[in-house]
């Protein structure tokens, strides 16, 4: 609401940008109303799939962005120090509450042990607190119910056999007892069949897994039903190019923790992470919001 108020204050004409409060009934009305030509959505994959189907049934163009489970592949020839910094920023930045956040770290061969120690040691040093304060690395999660949801994932991970090597469930911040704090959390021995290894947690939780080759790393990426973003860390141009062609993910990073394209490039995933044709940002977004017309004349 505050963003819309600022837009109106800046001079945006009334009715151009609106906030509609409501639940399922309000959404259904938008999806079915004859005056609505297109629908752009961001949320869970289950809801994105529903929005896509319902809006398309009523003849509307749709771009529906769903969930993510972003893998980060580390090869033995990677620069471990730079990789560790990128991993920590991706996984724990914004308390893991962004669709491009890293989630599963796949260490290839000897890279696993090297990156494991560095990531755990680095995560222990991160500072929790108010996100806008100087020196703070990790802010709170959005609400108490969401904190409980993240906690539930962690408890389920322990129950499914993953090894909890860094536990942030009891994190506190001096002077801020009412904050929804959740400290950096790290699992190892995470497999693709575990819920913490296949579903989006949306919190500062990392899952570590070991493979023996780049081929196995690619298999891990393909085993997941999401396809939002993926990153590879290597000093080998050959490995990076091979991964780029084989991974099959829409947004890829090479030695980048958050594979976020600049605004003039398309933004959106594949598989269960995106339903539609034209993606967000860039030329796709302009085309999505434009009715292109052709006039053929004879005089």
Give pairs for 127-132: CB < 8 Å, separation 24+: 128/171, 128/173, 128/181, 128/183, 129/173, 129/176, 130/173, 130/176, 130/179
Q: What percent of the chain has pLDDT over 70?
A: 100
> Using one digit for the tens of pLDDT, what is the confidence trace for 134-158?
999 999 999 999 999 999 999 999 9
- Both tokens of 41, joined, read 């959505």
Confidence at 15, pLDDT banded by 50, 70, 90: confident
* pLDDT value of residue 1: 86
* Contact call for residues 272 and 226 (beta carbons, < 8 A): yes
Strands (E), 220-273: 226-227, 229-233, 251-254, 270-271
* Contact call for residues 181 and 126 (beta carbons, < 8 A): no
The set of catalytic residues is 99
* Numbered ranges of CATH 3.40.309.10 in the chain: 70-254
Nearest CA among 187, 221, 218 for reference residue 201: 187
- pTM of model > 0.85: yes
DSSP state of 193: T
The architecture (CATH level 2) of 70-254 comes to 3-Layer(aba) Sandwich (3.40)
Q: Please give the Cα distance from 228 to 100 (Å, whole number).
A: 7
* Contact call for residues 248 and 230 (beta carbons, < 8 A): no
> Using one digit for the tens of pLDDT, what is the confidence trace for 55-90?
999 999 999 999 999 999 999 999 999 999 999 999
């Amino acid at each position: 609401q505050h963003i819309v108020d600022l837009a109106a204050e800046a001079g945006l004409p009334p009715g151009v940008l609106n906030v509609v409060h409501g639940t399922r009934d309000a959404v259904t009305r938008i999806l079915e109303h004859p005056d609505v030509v297109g629908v752009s959505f961001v949320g869970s994959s289950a809801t994105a799939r529903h929005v896509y189907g319902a809006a398309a049934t009523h003849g509307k163009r749709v771009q529906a962005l769903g969930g993510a489970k972003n893998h980060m592949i580390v090869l033995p020839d990677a620069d471990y120090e730079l990789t560790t910094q990128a991993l920590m920023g991706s996984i724990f930045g914004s308390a893991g509450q962004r669709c491009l956040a890293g989630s599963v770290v796949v260490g290839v061969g000897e890279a696993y042990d090297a990156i494991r120690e560095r990531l755990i040691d680095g995560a222990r040093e991160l500072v929790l607190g108010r996100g806008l304060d100087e020196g703070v690395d990790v802010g709170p999660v959005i609400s108490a119910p969401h904190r409980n949801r993240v906690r539930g994932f962690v408890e389920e991970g322990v129950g499914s056999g993953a090894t909890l090597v860094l536990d942030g469930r009891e994190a506190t911040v001096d002077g801020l007892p009412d904050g929804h704090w959740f400290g950096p959390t790290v699992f190892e021995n995470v497999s693709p069949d575990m819920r913490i290894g296949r579903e989006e947690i949306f919190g500062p939780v990392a899952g570590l897994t070991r493979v023996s080759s780049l081929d196995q790393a690619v298999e891990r990426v393909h085993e997941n039903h999401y396809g939002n973003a993926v990153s590879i860390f290597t000093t080998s141009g050959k490995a990076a190019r091979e991964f780029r062609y084989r991974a099959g993910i829409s947004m890829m990073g090479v030695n980048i923790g958050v594979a976020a394209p600049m605004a003039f490039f398309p933004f959106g995933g594949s598989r269960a992470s995106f339903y539609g044709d034209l993606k967000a940002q860039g030329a796709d977004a302009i085309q999505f919001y434009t009715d292109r017309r052709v006039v053929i004349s004879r005089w």
